[in-house]
Amino acid sequence: MTNDLSPIDRAKYIAARRSCDYVQSGMRVGLGTGSTAAWMVRCLGEMVREEGLDIVGVPTSTRTADLARQVGVPVVSLDEAKWLDVTIDGADEFDENLNLIKGGGGALLQEKIVATASDRMVVIADAAKEVRALGAFPLPVETVPFGWQTTKALVEETLVNMDVLGRESTLRMNDDVPFVTDEGNYIIDLHLHRIGNPRQLALVLNQIPGVVENGLFIDICDAVVIGHSDGRVEVRDLNAGVAADEQLDVLDSDNIFADGPD
């Protein structure tokens, strides 16, 4: 079945499969949101069903929670778990310092809370997500609905003094209505093209009234697992100070595609 995947989906699956090596029985695991994270949740579900892996997951969105339950991964809230051993999540972009842009799926607020409540954050991605400078992917900024147009104008005014190439901002839509996050907020996407100083921008954006959180994850990610369609996987670990290039043996198994228990 894995041979039936597109090259990009196979690379995502390879990264997701390798990231599960960070998970051991007894752990509390943050479960990310997005297409790559969904592969990881499925892999963990297979390990729970086939290998007796004993974990609890803390999902970062309602759709991740639904998927985890479907494949057999027990879920609890962050308040119940209190602190996590590891969070595994995808990213829309990452740079050489493992700074990230996240939030393309609209779950950036819960993703950042869960990631920062973990001993480690591991990012899983295909090679196309690596960039020299963040900003090609639109930067999501979560805002409260009240006065969002004023917040948007304040953000645009603030960008004039930031080291960015573009300053266009758009309200994220869901068909003809604003996209609403799990927390009931809106998202303004900033089309910056290049961010010269991500740390400064992250701090400044969060000072604007109406802004809840932004999609820059600075000094949060500890390791990144990069999957390739040929089965090769790169692991870069900031804490260990190592970069490894491995070949992952992936059995052409149907298990990962099977539905979990109801």
Catalytic member of 46, 93, 111, 213: 111
Q: Is 90 annotated as a binding-site member?
A: yes
**At residue 223, what is the residue type?**
A
Q: Is 102 annotated as a binding-site member?
A: yes
Q: Is 33 annotated as a binding-site member?
A: yes
**C-alpha to C-alpha distance for 125 and 137, rounded to whole angstroms:** 14
Structure tokens at 250: 């992936």
Q: Is 36 annotated as a binding-site member?
A: yes
**Helix boundaries (H) for the chain:** 7-19, 35-51, 62-71, 78-81, 108-116, 148-159, 198-205
Q: Is residue 234 annotated as a catalytic residue, yes or no?
A: no
Structure tokens at 123: 């990012």
Q: In terms of Cα–Cα distance, which of 74, 64, 69, 66 is closest to 32?
A: 64
Q: Is 105 annotated as a binding-site member?
A: yes
Q: Is 241 annotated as a binding-site member?
A: no
Q: Is 129 annotated as a binding-site member?
A: yes
51, with CB counted inside 10 A (0-12, 13-18, 19+), is exposed
Phi, psi of 136 (to 5 degrees): -65, -40
* End-to-end Cα spacing for the chain: 23
**C-alpha to C-alpha distance for 28 and 48, rounded to whole angstroms:** 13
Q: Is 91 annotated as a binding-site member?
A: yes
List binding-site positions.
33-36, 89-92, 102-105, 129
Q: What residues act catalytically?
A: 111
List binding-site positions for substrate.
33-36, 89-92, 102-105, 129
